[in-house]
Structure 1
Amino acid sequence: MKEYQVILADKNLKNNKQILDLSLWEKANCLTDFCSPWKKDPVSKIEFRALWDLDNLYFNFRVFDTDVYIDQEDGSFDSIGNSDRVELFFRTNDSLNPYYCLEIDTAVRIMDFKAYPERNFDYDWKWPKKEIEVTTSKDDISFTVQGRISIQSLRDLNLIQNNTIEAGVYRAKFSLAQNLQYEPTWISWVNPNTEKPNFHIASSFGKFVLVE
């Protein structure tokens, strides 16, 4: 399995919203080896970083793309599912029974749900509100989605074992096609080696190793 080393952060170097400042992210390992195995066209560069302390796992996606599509029809999961977004999945083991999904767009909307094998999704399940926080921003060349997830909530869900979290890191990119419909390009840290796009499979996960 692919591994990503999550460096221990100085918990005193947080702003008043508990999100890490830019200077601290520079100390994190930068993950850039994303792919879209189902399309030959190149994809925009993605930089993913993560840090942790005794309180939180912090994550930061920087996507070098300014042509961002947001379906603003309503605030439903269907609307988020039709928008450019980044995604984090977490599992206890490769049985995927269950696993937990966070899909976040640039409007700071979160699609959070519990899932089971064969794409059995429980949309009534929610990550505890006080245990997660997300912000977004953009500049002339990119957009950023960053946030924190409490270590306690990860432990409560049995997602940290031997200082390791089994996780998937993904992006959905929507582009206007010739039929004037927006169609997705699916991008993953780990190539799941499937004929058709599929993140909801054990082979799409890697490991976050919490380095002390």
Structure 2
Amino acid sequence: MKEYQVVLIDKNIKSDNKIIANSVWEKANCLTDFCSPWNDNLFSKIEFRALWDLDNLYFNFRIKKSDVYIDKTDDSFDSICNSDRVELFFRSNELLSPYYCLEIDTEGRIMDFEAYPDWNFDFNWKWSKEDIEVSTSTYDDVLEVEGRISIESLNELQLIKNDTIETGVYRAKFSKADNDQYVPTWISWVNPNTEKPNFHIASSFGKFILMR
């Protein structure tokens, strides 16, 4: 499995308008080896970073702002699903029984749910407001989506084992097709080796190693 090392940082590093100050993100390893195995569409560079401080797991996606599409019909899950978004999945075991999905669009709208194999989703499940926080910001032509998830909640869900979290990292990128409809390009950190796009499969996960 692919591995990503999550650097340990000191606490109390939140800035006034961001979950973590920009200078702190420089300590993180930068993950850029994303792929879209199901089509030949080119996509702009994606940068992903993660950090932790014993209390929270922090994450940061950086994508090109000019490439972003968002459905502003309403704040429903349907609108989020029809928008550019970044995604993190966490699994408790390789049987995906259960796993937890966090999908965030570029305006910070959250779709989180508990999942089981064969696309069995419980949309009534959510992280508590105390356990999760997200924000978005822009500079130059870069859009950042960042957030934090409490370590306590990840432990309660039995997602941390031997300082390892089995995680999927993804992006859905929408582009206008010839019929003027927006269609997604599915992008993943790990190539799941499936014939059709599918993030909801054990082979799409890698490992986050919590460094100490």
Could you state the TM-score of these two structures normalised by the residue count of structure 2?
0.97
Count of matched residue positions in the alignment of Structure 1 and Structure 2: 212
* Residue identity matched to 1:208: F
Give CA deviations for 1:76-114 in whole Å, capped at 9, x if unaligned: 101100000000000011100110000001111000000
Show the counterpart of 1:90: 90
Aligned counterparts of 1:106 and 1:196: Cα–Cα separation in 2 = 25
Show the counterpart of 1:47: 47
How much has 1:140 moved relative to structure 2? 2.8
RMSD of aligned alpha carbons: 1.1
Give CA deviations for 1:139-188 in whole Å, capped at 9, x if unaligned: 23221100100000000000000000000000000001001100000000
Q: Percent identity over the alignment? A: 72
Show the counterpart of 1:138: 138
Aligned counterparts of 2:106 and 2:171: Cα–Cα separation in 1 = 12
Show the counterpart of 1:14: 14
Task: Output aligned runs, 1:95-174, within 5 Å.
Answer: 95-174=95-174
Aligned counterparts of 1:177 and 1:140: Cα–Cα separation in 2 = 27
Pair 143,16 (structure 1): closer, same or farther in 2 beyond 3 Å: closer
Where 2:66 maps in the other structure, the secondary structure is coil
Structure 1 gaps, min length 5: none
Give CA deviations for 1:37-68 in whole Å, capped at 9, x if unaligned: 01112211001000001110000000124131
Aligned counterparts of 1:16 and 1:73: Cα–Cα separation in 2 = 31
Q: Is contact 1:7–1:28 with CA below 8 Å preserved after alignment?
A: yes
Where 1:137 maps in the other structure, the secondary structure is strand
Aligned counterparts of 2:124 and 2:31: Cα–Cα separation in 1 = 32
Q: Is contact 1:35–1:43 with CA below 8 Å preserved after alignment?
A: no
Structure 2 gaps, min length 5: none
Q: Is contact 1:85–1:103 with CA below 8 Å preserved after alignment?
A: yes
How much has 1:210 moved relative to structure 2? 0.1
How much has 1:196 moved relative to structure 2? 0.4
Q: Where does structure 1 differ by over 2 angstroms across 4 or more consecutive aligned residues? A: 12-18
Pair 18,74 (structure 1): closer, same or farther in 2 beyond 3 Å: closer
